[in-house]
């Protein structure tokens, strides 16, 4: 299944015009000359349940979407001892092209966060895991690479800004300012996070991309105003496996940021593939750096 998804994403890259001749190790993708940031392995057991610690709560709910014209499902992680008299920052965590609002649960974000909180390594936050395919039939069924279905990932920008964020703010006790809002995702969701997070600097202070897919826009499109980026963005953080042919999306943006003195982290996960080994590592690190 993993190989099928990678091949399909490669085809998507060609369709979207991102593949170039001479791709080398990336199977037709451009090889980017870039200096990666230091890889530090996550500690053993970071993604395993720990006895005797406080645990957060997983909630499955729905919200009305004026953008799509339907009621849409989402999964939410509330931190341990959630208290509606306290305001919490929010991380919007997006899935890949073959997933939905439940896909991230394969990466046990609740376990990772519970362990981080038990060690005092992260700020308590609400994690919102929506369905990033903003079309009436948003299920990953049939040919998920059909243009109309892929288009739903682009439409999600409006659903996120106009419908989902207001719903979360009206339903849970959250901060409502840019400084307390982050967005990150895996694969297609990583591309969405970079596209939407950097296009809406007034909405998101922290942006993360884990193995970001070919839907990621060109750096000049992502960051048209370098000074505005430097002033508004508090964190741009990426990771991708060294064996993942989609590394080009992350490396290309890293190279652009380095050239323009924009703070940016990009980690090459040693021998990493396009899978939850890398994505769990991404969440573990990203969550410690936000808020």
CATH of the domain at 83: 3.40.50.1820
Q: Is residue 239 part of a domain?
A: yes
Q: At 59, phi and psi to the nearest 5?
A: -120, 130
Q: Is residue 255 part of a domain?
A: yes
Q: Is residue 23 part of a domain?
A: no
Residue 264: the pLDDT is 98
Residue 100: the pLDDT is 98
Q: Is residue 97 part of a domain?
A: yes
pLDDT band at 31 (very low <50, low <70, confident <90, very high): confident
DSSP lists the bridge partners of residue 228 as: none
Cα–Cα distance measured from residue 234 to residue 91, given in angstroms and rounded to the nearest whole number: 14
pTM, rounded to two decimals: 0.92
111 vs 13, which has greater pLDDT? 111
pLDDT band at 9 (very low <50, low <70, confident <90, very high): low
pLDDT band at 22 (very low <50, low <70, confident <90, very high): very low
pLDDT band at 227 (very low <50, low <70, confident <90, very high): very high
Q: Is residue 109 part of a domain?
A: yes
Q: What pLDDT, in 10s, does the model give residues 196-216?
A: 999 999 999 999 999 999 999
Structure tokens at 98: 């073959």
Contacts of 285 (CB under 8 A, 6+ apart): 42, 237, 239, 267
Cα–Cα distance measured from residue 25 to residue 244, given in angstroms and rounded to the nearest whole number: 9
In this predicted structure, the answer to whether residue 15 has a pLDDT above a threshold of 80 is no
Q: Is residue 272 part of a domain?
A: yes
The mean pLDDT value for 274-281 works out to 98
User: What is the distance of C-alpha 60 from the center of its chain?
Assistant: 19
24 vs 53, which has greater pLDDT? 53
The mean pLDDT value for 265-270 works out to 98
Range of the domain at 132: 32-289
Least confident window among 10-19, 41-50, 164-173:
10-19
Residue 32: the pLDDT is 87
Q: What pLDDT, in 10s, does the model give residues 92-119?
A: 999 999 999 999 999 999 999 999 999 9
**Considering its fold, how many domains does the chain have in total?**
1
Q: Is residue 149 part of a domain?
A: yes
In this structure, are residues 195 and 158 in contact, taking their beta carbons and an 8 Å threshold?
no
The mean pLDDT value for 188-194 works out to 98
Mean pLDDT over each residue of the chain, to the nearest integer: 92
Q: Is residue 16 part of a domain?
A: no
The mean pLDDT value for 148-158 works out to 97
Cα–Cα distance measured from residue 109 to residue 251, given in angstroms and rounded to the nearest whole number: 25
**Which is it for the CA torsion 76, 81, 84, 86, positive or negative?**
negative
């Amino acid at each position: 299944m993993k190989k099928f998804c990678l091949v399909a994403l490669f085809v998507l890259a060609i369709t979207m015009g991102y593949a170039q001749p001479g791709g080398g190790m990336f199977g037709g993708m451009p090889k980017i000359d870039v200096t990666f940031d230091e890889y530090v392995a996550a500690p053993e057991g970071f993604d395993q349940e720990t006895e005797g610690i406080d645990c957060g709560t997983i909630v499955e709910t729905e919200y009305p979407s004026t953008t799509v014209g339907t009621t849409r499902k989402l999964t939410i992680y509330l931190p341990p001892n959630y208290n509606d008299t306290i305001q919490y920052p929010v991380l919007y965590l997006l899935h890949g092209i073959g997933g939905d609002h439940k896909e991230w649960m394969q990466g046990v974000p609740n376990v990772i966060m519970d362990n981080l909180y038990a060690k005092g390594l992260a700020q308590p936050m609400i994690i919102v895991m929506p369905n990033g395919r903003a079309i009436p039939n948003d299920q990953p069924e049939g040919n998920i690479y059909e243009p109309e279905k892929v288009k739903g990932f682009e439409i999600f920008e409006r659903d996120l800004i106009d419908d989902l964020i207001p719903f979360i703010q009206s339903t849970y006790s959250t901060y409502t300012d840019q400084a307390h809002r982050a967005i990150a995702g895996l694969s297609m969701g990583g591309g969405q996070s970079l596209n939407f997070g950097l296009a809406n600097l007034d909405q998101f202070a922290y942006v993360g991309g884990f193995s970001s897919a070919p839907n990621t826009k060109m750096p000049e499109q992502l960051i048209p105003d370098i000074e505005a980026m430097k002033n508004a963005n508090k964190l741009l953080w990426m990771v991708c496996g060294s064996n993942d042919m989609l590394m080009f999306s992350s490396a290309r943006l890293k190279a652009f940021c380095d050239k323009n003195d924009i703070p940016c982290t990009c980690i090459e996960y040693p021998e990493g593939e396009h899978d939850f080994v890398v994505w769990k590592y991404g969440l573990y690190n990203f969550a410690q750096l936000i808020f």
